[in-house]
Amino acid sequence: MINILSSITSTQNGMLGDVASVPKCIDKSCQRVIWRKRASVPITEDQVRGIFLRYDTNKDGLLSKEELKNAFASLGSRMPGVRAWLALQHADVNGDGFINEAEFDKLVKYTLKRGYKIN
Ligand SMILES: [Ca+2]
Ligand SMILES: [Ca+2]
């Protein structure tokens, strides 16, 4: 008797547990993940690299202040000129006014820290 009762109780608990936990996941946490993906998300390192490479418009392998400005404008910066200047202050290690391949990583990391979002 006791065994039957306890097995029924545990089965019911198990069923209740399943019913209660599964829809919770679908309704709340799972949907939240989907919504987060649909809303604007922080840009990834690869995307930042891609944008800067694309904005090397004269294809000399260096990013000038003007090219940086255009890149930051495309990232949605409200002050792309200022942002380009600040990025050069931060990443232009040899001070020639251009971002070369060696300085590129620093530029990408700097840009990622600004937390630009894309849709
Ligand atoms: Ca260039
Ligand atoms: Ca430089």
- Mean per-residue pLDDT pooled into runs of 10, the chain (119 residues): 56 51 53 58 95 98 98 96 98 98 98 89
| Residues 16 and 67 placed together within one structural domain of the fold | no
Q: How far is the C-alpha of 87 from the C-alpha of 65, rounded, in Å?
A: 9
Question: Residue 40: what pLDDT?
Answer: 82
CATH value at residue 53 = 1.10.238.10
Domain limits for position 57: 41-118
Distance 76 CA to ligand 2 centre (A): 24
Tally of domains within the chain: 2
Would you list the DSSP string of 38-105?
HS-EEPPHHHHHHHHHHT-TT-SS-B-HHHHHHHHHHTT-S-HHHHHHHHHHHH-TT-SSSB-HHHHH
Question: Residue 24: what pLDDT?
Answer: 52
Element (H, E) at 118: strand 117-118
| Residues 89 and 108 placed together within one structural domain of the fold | yes
Distance 69 CA to ligand 2 centre (A): 16
Distance 42 CA to ligand 2 centre (A): 27
Distance 51 CA to ligand 1 centre (A): 13
| Residues 85 and 49 placed together within one structural domain of the fold | yes
